[in-house]
Amino acid sequence: MVATLQKLQPPRAMRWVTRWRWITFAFFAAGVLGAVFLPFWPVRYFLSPILLVLGFWSFTVAQHRSRIVGEGSEGEALVAKVLDNLQMDARVLHSVQFESGDKPRELDHLLITHGAMFVIETKYLRGRIAGEVLDREWTLHKRARKTRSRYKRGFYNPLKQVATQIYHLRSHLESNLAPRWAQECSQIWIQGVVVFAHPQGDASAVVNHEHGVVDLANLPQYLANYRPPSRAHRLSYGLRREIARVLTGQ
């Protein structure tokens, strides 16, 4: 069975939702107080409506960001449930956050097995996904919720995204592990996995097990059958323990 070392945490993007909610409150409060207490009526009737309009605008931004974060969290919860119930000897961490390259980094999930580590990126997209492995952007084709009209939008190639995450994860581990473990860590294999988890998403055009792109239904089979390159070193019990300690602080 998989040992879950860290529970799913709110994503870092949720902090921006909270900030926008506070901005909304500040605009509305300033508009109301200005309408009541400002002594000069030209300023009162000019400034207060502007503040209230800005408050309504920031409210819509907060709602939009909250919906995006909520959908992302729902997808991560679905993947976390699958990972926590894998029938394999492994360790799994959710919502892994660390600093690398002077910037905060966040991994949706990290699965640590004997043979390899898996950095797992969850995509919760409704619609049809199209793209090639080397493209900078992939395309999401979908229908608008209200008008039902078709439209498309691009999003950054998740394979490139997860490759960047792997680079910074390895750098962070080798910088924070003891020299003995850092040397061993430099020789292990870290595989990126992109999971499309939305039940109304169609990722059949981009699913590619060779490059680690799967849908949620096939994730357990992909992980169970995965074989790292022959040159990769196995992860000892001590290294797996130390990696978990560095990333969780425990």
Please give the average pLDDT of every successive group of 10 residues along the chain, which has 250 residues. Answer: 58 59 72 68 68 70 55 76 90 89 87 95 91 93 73 91 95 93 94 93 92 94 93 92 88
pLDDT at 4: 62
Our separate counts of H helices and E strands in the chain read: 6, 10
Alpha-carbon span 30 to 51, nearest angstrom: 7
Q: Are 191 and 169 in contact (CB under 8 A)?
A: no
pLDDT at 240: 93
pLDDT at 72: 53
CA distances 16 to 13, 49, 96, 240, Å, are: 6, 25, 18, 33
pLDDT at 120: 96
Tokens of 143: 């229908």
pLDDT at 225: 93
pLDDT at 88: 87
pLDDT at 102: 78
With left for phi above 0 and alpha for psi between -120 and 50, is residue 207 left, alpha or beta? Answer: beta
> Quick one: which of 165, 176, 192, 185 has its CA closest to 238?
185
Q: What are phi and psi of 123, to 5 degrees?
A: -120, 125
pLDDT at 5: 59
Q: Which residues contact 129 (CB under 8 A, 6 or more apart)?
A: 123, 138, 139, 140, 141, 196, 201, 202, 203, 205, 206
